[in-house]
Chain A
Amino acid sequence: MAEKKALLLDVTLCIGCNSCQAGCKTENHLDAQEEKYLSLTAYTALSEYNGKFVRRLCQHCEVPTCVSVCPVGALEKTAAGPVTYDGEKCIGCRYCLQACPFRVPRYEWKSTRPRIQKCNFCVSRQSKGLQTACAEACPTGATKFGDRDALLLEAQKRIAAEPGKYVNRIYGQEDVGGTSMLYISPLPFEQLGFDVKLGDTPMPLLTHNAMEKIPSVVSVGAVMLAGVWWITNRRHEVQVHEAGQNAGPAAKNQELK
């Protein structure tokens, strides 16, 4: 199995030049105009908070919520990390938009054959052994592509080397079970628009806890209902029988039915 890839996003190094978005747009043949928010034509965008820039893009979760909710498996988690999307399978239920903890997918609302759009972690470049277009475009090293384990070590090293510069947290290391986007920051993450209350439990487990009870509900339920039917039916037959004895042979024929 291929080593799991990730991006290390160092907020301290980002100068807000938007090269990542430009590189991404070129790679994906999207409208080249600069955009401030994720959109159908911007798979990544920079948000500014007090002079700090934070890249928004699909986090490519380790246990992706979108993949678990998609009824037809149009979204898939590949072994190397990318969460990919197949518009030919998609039925347009939009559960992925509803459930994504990072509110990433964008929907082609204007189309009559709509698909979702989101970062695909340059899956085709990765398969050729290349780094992502955004990492390649980044002039400062604020976005660095590499093996997830190696990047985690590097993030820890950077924080340990300059504890005054960073808050002691790697966002994405454990959040919602871990993501492929690892952020390190000079400010507490809640000040940079991150949802810090998501917890470390992968969201799909919340559903799984309920869904795993289905087999028991079915088996116990079936036996119980059949049992109730058996008992009440027996009671019914006894009543028919007794009524038959009181009413004579005419009703007795009914009982034989």
Chain B
Amino acid sequence: MKPSFFSRITVWGAIAVLLITLGAASAIARFTLGLGATTNLTDQFPWGLWIGFDFLGIGLAAAGFTIVAAVHLFHATDYEPIVRPAILTAFIGYLLVVLVLVIDLGRPDHFWHPLVMWNPHSVMFEITWCVILYTTVLSLEFAPIVLEKFHLHAPIKWIHTFSLPFMIVGVLLSTLHQSSFGSLYLIVPNRLHPLWYSPLLPVLFFISCIASGVSMVILETLILSRNRPTLLSPALRANLAKITAVALAVYLVVRFQDMAGRGVLGELGHLTYHSTAFYFEIVIGFLAPFILLMFPKVRNTRQGLYTATVMVLTGFAANRMNTAITGMEVWPTRTYFPSLLEVLIMLGIAAVGFTAFSLISSYLPIFATEEAMEAESGRTPDEPWSRLPEPEPEG
């Protein structure tokens, strides 16, 4: 096992500690002074940066359900080595989003109310339940990794008995609330700019989360495989890139067809505050990476994939922030810019996420050894389909 992330002070480690400290201090300020004193949120702009960050976190956590579905439901077993990193990503993502939501709530002490006080008509109610249930499913998908570390095989077996329904439920819950984040805005046609408002918001949110989730997986394997050449072969990574490209293409078609149908393409004729934001998100995050990923040279090189996936994730982030913030602004009369404390809390929580991933993956068997994987899946190395990808001498 390699030395852990913090066994020596790295630049990234120092930055993480700094951001987490600042974030924690800001969070204390937020709880003692209230939202008004610490954020730029107002009656006219009651949702801001944190909601956008929630969308972003949940979108990246789509890595979890897409890969679990691919491997365990569609039996794309070649991708087995990345299931655990993907589940860890999703698990951390969801826990952090819950944390942000609790910080964002005016009454964090009432966070449990939706469990007992029901309003099934509310999208927020549905999201709360989906997030709670899916985080539970994720903890069950994650539990075997912890149990394995401590050699507790009996409960692992017990969990495996129920794993198929759990995984199906997990995929369904993800589908529901990934799209529901879009549904949150269905009720504000009078406020959300027509470049973003659409009756198809839930559909668009779902398609784009697949592009971002798979991009996140590709990016992770690119970063992680520097030290673990067996993680995923370049060929399989290129296949994931193709899936991303398909998701991007479907998204572009649905988005532009919808815009044409609603007659808002004219909005793109002039460069305004909103159309500039739209061009940024659609070109950087969808159009350009889609074109890039058409080239085998991009799909098959680390450099190319780095570029394309970072673009997808940037554009995805821009899309969610535009929906949550830019699209709700009326330029220049009603605008919002987050306060320093809002930004610090967001950065602190992001730093918690990266640190947690780094620490957990160095202490728990996230990157299963070849033997452990065979023992778990009950296969022998001479079966052709279970062969791990060839180690690639790269990076």
- Enumerate chain A interface residues (CB-CB to B < 8 A): 65, 68-74, 89-95, 97-99, 101, 103, 105-107, 109-114, 195, 197-198, 203-204, 206-211, 214, 217-218, 221-222, 225-226, 228-229, 232-233, 235-236, 239-240, 243, 247, 250-251, 254, 257
A254-B378 in contact (CB<8A): yes
Task: List 17 A-B pairs, Cβ < 8 Å.
Answer: A68-B187, A71-B113, A71-B119, A71-B125, A72-B113, A89-B117, A93-B124, A95-B124, A110-B34, A110-B36, A113-B107, A203-B187, A211-B183, A221-B171, A225-B168, A228-B73, A229-B72
Count of residues in B whose CB is under 8 Å from the partner chain: 62
Alpha-carbon separation in the docked complex, A103 to B188 (Å):
11
Q: Is the CB of A69 within 8 A of B74?
A: no
Cβ 8 A contact of B117, one of A69, A72, A210: A72
Known: A107-B46, A109-B42, A207-B187. A232 touches B75 (CB 8 A): yes
CB distance A69 to B187 under 8 Å? yes
CB pair A114 B121 closer than 8 Å = no
B121 touching A204, Cβ below 8 Å: yes
From B32, B164, B378, B384, contact of A257 by CB (8 A): B378
Chain B residues with Cβ under 8 A from A106's Cβ?
A: 43
Is the pair A72, B119 in contact by a Cβ cutoff of 8 Å?
yes
CA distance A232 to B126 in the complex (A): 32
Question: Contact at A91–B175, with CB atoms within 8 Å?
Answer: no
Closest 4 CB pairs of A and B: A92-B106, A109-B36, A232-B75, A97-B46
The CA-CA distance from A243 to B384 in the complex, in Å, is 8
Q: What distance in Å separates the Cβ of B96 from its nearest Cβ neighbour in chain A?
A: 18
A249 to chain B, nearest CB (A): 12
* A195–B172 touching, CB < 8 Å: no
Residues of A within 8 A of B44 (CB): 103
Given A71-B114, A211-B121 in contact, is the A217-B175 Cβ separation under 8 Å? yes
Give Cα A151–Cα B147 distance, bound, in whole angstroms: 69
Asked if A210 and B202 make an inter-chain contact with CB atoms under 8 angstroms apart, the answer reads yes
Task: Please name all residues of chain B whose beta carbon is closer than 8 Å to the beta carbon of A218 when the two chains form the complex.
Answer: 172, 176
Contact yes or no, A211 B172, CB < 8 A: no
Assembly CA distance A229 to B379 (angstroms): 18
Distance (whole angstroms) from the CB of A40 to the closest CB of chain B = 9
State whether A214 touches B126 (Cβ < 8 A).
yes
Cα A114 to Cα B74 with chains together (Å): 48
Q: Distance (Å) between the CB of A18 and the closest chain B CB? A: 22
Instruction: Give 1 or 0 for each of B178-208: 1 = CB within 8 Å of chain A CB.
Output: 0100011011111100000001001000000
Q: In whole angstroms, what is the CA distance A106 to B42 when docked? A: 9
With both beta carbons as reference points, the residue of chain A lying nearest to B37 in the complex is identified as: A110
Q: Return the contact of B122 from the options A70, A229, A232 (Cβ within 8 A).
A: A70
Give Cα A247–Cα B346 distance, bound, in whole angstroms. 55
Do residues A103 and B43 form an inter-chain contact, with CB atoms below 8 A? yes
Contacts of A89 in B (CB 8 A): 110, 113, 117
- B172 contacts A221, CB within 8 Å? yes
B31 at the interface (CB under 8 A from A): yes
CB neighbours (8 Å) of B171 from chain A are 221, 225
Asked if residues A239 and B385 are in contact (CB atoms below 8 Å), the reply is yes
A152 CB to nearest B CB, Å: 24
Contact call B33/A112, Cβ cutoff below 8 A: yes
Determine whether the beta carbon of B43 is less than 8 Å from that of A107: yes
Q: B284 to chain A: closest CB distance in Å?
A: 27
Taking a contact as CB atoms closer than 8 A, the residue among A74, A95, A110, A206 that contacts B189 in the complex is A206
Q: Which residue of B lies closest to A235 (CB)?
A: B75
Q: Which residues from chain A contact B110 at a C-beta distance below 8 Å?
A: 72, 89-92
Residues of A close to B121: CB separation below 8 A: 68, 204, 207-208, 211
0/1 string, B71-91, CB within 8 A of A gives 1: 011110100000000000000
B190 A195 Cβ-Cβ under 8 A: yes
* Chain B residues within 8 Å of A71, by CB: 113-114, 119, 122, 124-125, 128
